[in-house]
Amino acid sequence: MCGILGYEGALQATPLIFKGLKQLSYRGYDSWGICAQTKKGLQTFKRVGDITKSNEPKFDSTKAIGHTRWATHGKVTQKNAHPHLNESGTIAVVHNGIIENADDLRLALEDEGYKFKSETDTEVIPHLLDYFAKRYDDHTALLKTLKHLKGSYAFLALLKGRLAFARDGSPLVIGLSNSGKFISSDIPSFLHHTRKTIVLEDGDWGFADEDRIYSGKEIVSRPARIESWDVEVAKKGTYPHFMLKEIEEQQMTIRKALNQDGRIKIAADLLSRSEVYILGCGTSYNTGAIASYELAKAGIRAIPSLASEFEPHLPFINEDSIIIALSQSGETKDVIDAVREAKKKQAKIISIVNTPGSTLARGADIHIPMKSGPEICVLSTKSATAQLAILSLLTHEIENKSPDLLREAAACAPHVIAQTKRVAKQLAKKLKDTRSIFTIGRGPLAPLAREAALKIKEVSYIHAEGMPAGELKHGPIALIEPGVPVIVFADSNTRTLTISNALEVKARGAYVIGIDSKNHPAYDTHIQIPDIEEATPMLALLPIQLLSYYLALERGCDPDKPRNLAKSVTVR
């Protein structure tokens, strides 16, 4: 969840690291730090807070490492910020992930006389490196350190003046440029310098000054590739926030998601004769649940499951099972772990992922790219509609239907965004001080209501609860009182019953907002969207994304970096 970046080359390292860490701040913005190898030794600069609001440190160095933190072990303090050093200040480490046996290692190292300054699990790494570096050469010291670590990690270390790296369970990619070598959690941190990358595998380690990568004691081959991402897409441009930029990009990204190759046909053929499970977390789980309704109409029994709760399904997984794994980053730890367990049972994996070269993309039997480009805002917007577009495309292929309906929906996206902005701004002003918002829908609009509630609470911190409309009267309606906003999603298939539920809450004083192709007296405010049959949920997401964005602004929240959240969840 944190972001790490290292550089070694011919250029001044600190400005490169500082700029790159800003690009990684969506992975963590509790605190940040940089350590540079200088003529005076290691020099470190650490601060609490968002790096995008900080000044750049000045070190004369061509080799440095940096970190943006999302706190796991230890409070948000300067003491707990990375990099962490050994006692003599000759070894520095930045780390993403969790060292699960950190407590045991800490006790063992304390018995050897090592003293700890932070509450973090990371600090055991520089002390372990120190212990072995006093006894062995650099390669052996690093390898022995790795053998003692248990958990999920990627780390960079400045060890005896060399830039070392290691990965096991958390993402790490090398960027190769004419001016030097970058090693990072994510491609956008060096995209403005190079698109030539080497994606590291679990167990890989090495040193930046060598052209070799090791796995255990063996030298391994990891091919270089040229990434297709456009550097301009990773920039905010004239937009005030990435969230708004990425919402508006959906008029292009939905079309790109629909422009797929023969893998769609192969995947559809697999789905049509198998037991299907759809795995995701957060927004990805919600989009999978929406798609499961459409797949059911096509004759496919697709079971959506939260990846973190997939274990009860494992006894039923076998060689006839298909897992559709959804993840923007392709590095979501819960999804990766569930997929690995399913593969042990011989299940086939179809991944729908946005990030090129990610663990899920590389480990799938069939990978279908979202083609959304870098999504920098912590909240999923364009990746959500891309997932829905691809899942709908799969369903259409199963039914042997033309994708023209989906292309029609894509063509409507810019109009929905443009027409919704004014209403969303007005609604945000009206709702900014509300304590709770309820969202309801039926059929595929029920998980869409859950996604709507997730968006609202993620970015504006208003309590929001999404549910099937029919469940209101089975308990939640007790919370409805005069003025409580209820957002209603309805379409031609669900409108009659859903309107009945809207009238139930309206009779109790609720302020009812209808996101629907048709207006109704039950709606105090109506946001109109086209009714394009099964493609309607994809368009219904757009108004709620805009409303969430403007609610955040009205409440003084940062839409790109909501508190306590990180873009890529690489820990369980």
Catalytic residue positions, numbered? 2, 567
The residue whose two tokens read 């007790």 is 478
Find, among 71, 64, 62, the residue nearest to 96 by Cα.
Answer: 71
Find, among 308, 307, 320, 301, the residue nearest to 279 by Cα.
Answer: 307
- DSSP 3-state of 228: coil
The residue whose two tokens read 């039950």 is 522
Please enumerate in sequence order all residues whose Cβ is within 8 A of that of 64, keeping only pairs 6 or more positions apart, or say none.
Answer: 6, 7, 13, 14, 16, 17, 34, 35, 36, 37, 158
DSSP codes, 124-153: HHHHHHHHHHTTS-HHHHHHHHHHH--EEE
Q: Which two tokens stand for residue 398?
A: 């199963």
Roughly what angle, to the nearest 10 degrees, separates helices 102-111 and 124-133? 50
Q: Which H/E stretch holds residue 200?
A: none
Find, among 146, 180, 204, the residue nearest to 17 by Cα.
Answer: 180
Find, among 146, 406, 75, the residue nearest to 257 by Cα.
Answer: 406
Are residues 489 and 498 in contact, defined by beta-carbon separation less than 8 angstroms? yes
The span from the CA of 474 to the CA of 143, in Å, is 58
Using CA atoms, how far residue 451 sits from 26, 153, 282, 466, in Å, is 21, 30, 8, 7
- DSSP 3-state of 413: helix
Q: Which two tokens stand for residue 241?
A: 């926030």
Q: Which two tokens stand for residue 193?
A: 């310098």
User: 252-263 in b/e burial notation, b at 16+ Cβ within 10 A?
Assistant: bbbbbbbebeee
CB atoms within 10 A of CB 448: 27
